[in-house]
Chain A
Amino acid sequence: MSKKVVIIDYQLGNLFSVYQACLNEGIEAKTSSEKKTVEEADALILPGVGAFGDAMLSLKKYDLIEPIRDFAASGRPLFGICLGLQLLFSESEEFGSFKGLDLVKGTVKKFPTSSKNRGKVLVPQIAWNQIQEKKSWKTSPLQNLKNGEFMYFVHSYYVCPDTTAEILSQTSYADVTYCSSISKNNIFATQFHPEKSAKEGLKIYKNWIEKI
């Protein structure tokens, strides 16, 4: 029987391409904002575009915070994308301070808007950028990617895990070398958009789906 992959729809961001990327790898995912559907999923995708605070408020509104935390604790695969990576962290400094899902210890910080060497820095970063292997990719969804592969990024904030143990890849922008993907037990998450990163990005979906 095919696995139930659920894409959490909490009204932030465009889920079309995430859905299409799953479909491209043979999985017809379900998009849902229902607690019960989330609880019953075999694997969960937490996407997201926009503001951290709004996203947490929206997850709260749909009563999804505890179900996602419980899901993560159950050991089933959880995949966070972009804002969905940031939400896994303890807190964000975006417009004051917001508590996150606290599944990974650490904070979310904003890029500086100027750089010592290069002057003006554009924020958000809207660009293809390279991911560099930090801990081994061998058993992760990045396993058959080239070290230094280009992925598509759109973000103003980046994550800072308290320990380096979770960091899968790092990326440099605006004089900052930051964590661009993590893995922690059953949790995998990327700051970049694999579903917008052409064929190399689709490989990540394929690898993740194969392990469900």
Chain B
Amino acid sequence: MSNIRIIPRLDIKGPNLVKGIHLEGLRVLGKPEHFAKFYYENGADELIFQDVVASLYERNSLQDIISRTAREIFIPLTVGGGIRTLEDIRSVLRAGADKVSINTAAIKNPGFILEASRKFGSSTIVIAMECIRQEDGKYLVYTDNGREYTGIEATVWAKQAEEMGAGELLLTSVDKEGTGSGFDAVLTKTIADLVNIPVIAHGGAGSSDDVFNIIRDSGVDAVSIASVLHYQFIKGNKGGGDFSQEGNVSFLNSGKDFGKIKSCSLQQIKEQLLKNGIPTRN
């Protein structure tokens, strides 16, 4: 087993860090730069930035945030959202990203994975899979933040993406995402067993127990987490500054708690893993 990577995920809308449920209903949490720097300084193994509205509006507003962030953060950065062409990849990498994550454009044209991995190397190309469980128990992949039906089975797509040259799979359970009710272990184990490239489990973490459980139960070697870490950061930093520019800030202003989410720090997550014999950088 590799050392487990814990990867905070930052969903971005315009200038703000946001968090939704099932990838929708976005609440503003603060400035992404502040969160990113904090996670870097507190032991994050990588960071994922996702422009959650890029696909919808066919824009990618992340570049400014990335180029500012990448100057002071020396861990791998993955950037996703609205990446459609080789030129898009090139410009995101030039802004300081190390990898890109692609969903919609790859499903529309799987050959894009091949082209992109040949051009930039497999390890640069992460395929994001937004999966929804169907009534018959099968999982299908969706695009545009879980909105658009494709009819493609997750297992079939995972295998195809690997064959086309994807370096990693970022596996999201849309059903679980933002709920804090734990990862989808069936989905995660099924995909992790199927492929020979790293799978990053994402969607559903509500506590450090959930992180430990999914690693133990599925054998993934990376986990991506948002709410659990963001809420911990907010508690300590009151949102980290000015966030009133755009979007739904009523949640932040309300002072409400975070429902099912038991927030904790990166350090606490890693300590729990190490204590249970799961190797990770510390």
Contacts and interface: CB of A to CB of B under 8 A. Distances in A.
A128 B221 CA distance: 11
Interface string B153-179: 000000000000001100000000000
A190 to B, nearest CB: 14
Interface string A41-78: 00000000111000000000000000000000000000
A200 to B, nearest CB: 10
Contacts of A29: none
A14 B98 contact: yes
Given A50-B121, A128-B45, A16 B74 contact: no
B96 A124 contact: no
B94 A202 contact: no
B197 A198 contact: no
If over half of B's interface residues share one DSSP class (helix, strand or loop), that class is named, otherwise mixed; here it is: loop
A118 B2 CA distance: 11
Contacts of A20: 70-71, 74, 96
Nearest to B123: A154
Nearest to B282: A150
A127 B3 contact: yes
Contacts of A199: 74
Interface in B195-234: 196-198, 221
A122 B5 CA distance: 14
Interface string B113-131: 0000000111110000000
A125 B196 contact: no
A196 B70 contact: no
Nearest to A128: B281
Interface residues of A, number: 34
Interface in B50-85: 70-72, 74-76
A120 B194 CA distance: 11
A132 interface: no
Interface in A16-30: 16-17, 20-21, 23-24
A21 B74 contact: yes
A197 interface: yes
A123 B162 CA distance: 12
Given A17-B96, A49-B123, A122-B197, A128 B5 contact: yes
B93 interface: yes
B74 A198 contact: yes
Nearest to B66: A16
A50 to B, nearest CB: 4
A100 interface: no
A199 B43 CA distance: 10
A93 to B, nearest CB: 18
Given A16-B94, A202-B74, 19 more contacts: A14-B97, A14-B124, A16-B93, A16-B95, A17-B98, A23-B71, A49-B121, A49-B123, A124-B122, A126-B5, A126-B168, A126-B198, A127-B2, A128-B5, A128-B281, A150-B282, A152-B75, A196-B75, A201-B74
5 nearest interchain CB pairs?
A127-B2, A128-B281, A150-B281, A50-B121, A154-B123
Interface of B: 1-3, 5, 40, 45, 70-72, 74-76, 93-98, 120-124, 167-168, 196-198, 221, 280-282
8 contacts: A14-B97, A14-B124, A20-B71, A50-B120, A122-B221, A125-B2, A128-B281, A197-B74
